Every structure is written in C-alpha cells, then in structure tokens.
A = this chain, B = another copy of it.
C-alpha cells in the first residue's frame, strides 16, 4: 500500500502505569482520582499522552516520575536507591475503551519499594496506594465500609494483567528485590514474596533457597533488627536477573 496519510485513521496513544509496591504485608497499586469526565471522581491508573517526540518507555518513565518522584531504572542495572523497575506490560486498544475517541494505551508495569505518601500534582487526596484486591473487587465494599466503584476505563483488566505479570515474574527472576530497599534481609524478601503471592512460605526453606541461588543475593556484612527477634544479615540484590532454578510458587 503506497504512502497516503489519509489511508490510516489517527489514534491517540497513551501510557498507563501499574505501579506496585508492598505495604503492610499487602500488594498495593497506585491509583489516582479522575478530575474530569468520563469516569469523573472514579479511581484510575496513572497515565497520560505520549508526546510527539517521545519513545514509549520515556513517556512511561516521565509519568512515573510525575506521579511518584521515582526514577525509572534501566532494567540491565540492578535496582538501587529509589529507582524503580519499569517494563512494558501490554497494549490495550479496544475501539470503545475510551468513549471520547480512539485511544491506544501502552500499559507499563513499575515495581517500587515502599514509599512515603504518593503525590498527584501535589494533591494527596487524589492519589493513594490501595491493596490490589480492593481495587479489583467489583461493586464490593472497602475496609472502611465505603462502597468501592470499579476502576475507570479498562483499568481493572490492566491492573489484573500487571499483577499477574508481577506474580509470575518473581518466580524466575530477581525482580522481587525491586520491592525492597537497597539493603534488606532474607525475611523482608520473604515477606515480599508472601505479599505478592498471597501465601505463607516456610522461612527455613526460603532462606536455604535464596541464599543458595548464585547471584541472587550479595551479603553486605551488616546486620539489623527491624522486626524484633534475632538480628538478620543484610543483603543487596546480586547481578543475576534470571534465577536458575526458579522460586516455586506453592500449588493453589
């Protein structure tokens, strides 16, 4: 087909972000309240238009910084400081997903350590960390007894896909360390796995597994007591990105 600008329909392209963290033993996602129609007042995933001269990953990193102050991290470098892991998730382009116009959204997944309060344009009441089960339940009631409206657009589907990606990816990669501060203990890492998978893991087998997987953890030499009990060794994330053999998610 020859080049003819009228031969293709114009699309708006956005990036939407599934930003996950672990807070108080629960997997939480960043949600922002919509200020305008459609879905005014409803919670949604953060996101925005891709600019004319921007790559998709640049746009995602920019939105992430705008919403959280996080600095997106090159995936080839181990996670450190307050950098977050950022990767492309999937693209959603149903013709009716936005009632205003044809919008294709390239969703990205970000994994971050537990952060202070979120900010959305400086207005804290319009952004929050919410447990993913709370955001995904349809028409139920939240912990405060207030009715829960489903997320705007197809964001419930996007969030569910992002959560599933995170759950499966920490099996065979060292991505779980992206939820941890730069230095962490084996127990803290185990609580990340428990929160993301929603299961209880045997501390002894987990300890044997992660300390025995080459390149996963590097001891820093320090110890700490953050949870009461015996002090634990501190580790940093090792260079390995793919775990071999993988962590196994317990059956059902």
Contacts and interface: CB of A to CB of B under 8 A. Distances in A.
A148 interface: no
A92 B50 CA distance: 13
Given A9-B52, A55-B93, 7 more contacts: A1-B36, A8-B12, A10-B11, A11-B13, A11-B50, A52-B102, A56-B104
A120 to B, nearest CB: 12
Nearest to A8: B49
B9 A51 contact: yes
Interface in A85-100: 88, 90-95, 100
Contacts of A90: 88
Contacts of A91: 56, 88, 91, 106
Interface of A is mostly: loop
Interface in A39-96: 48-56, 88, 90-95
Q: Interface residue tally of chain A, by bracket?
A: 35 or more
A104 B102 contact: no
Contacts of A54: 95
A7 B95 CA distance: 20
B11 A93 contact: no
A200 interface: no
Nearest to A52: B9
A198 to B, nearest CB: 18
A218 to B, nearest CB: 23
A11 B49 CA distance: 11
A238 to B, nearest CB: 19
A5 B93 contact: no
Contact of A106 (B55, B100, B104): B104
A36 B93 contact: no
A94 B48 contact: no
Given A54-B95, A93-B13, A36 B2 contact: yes
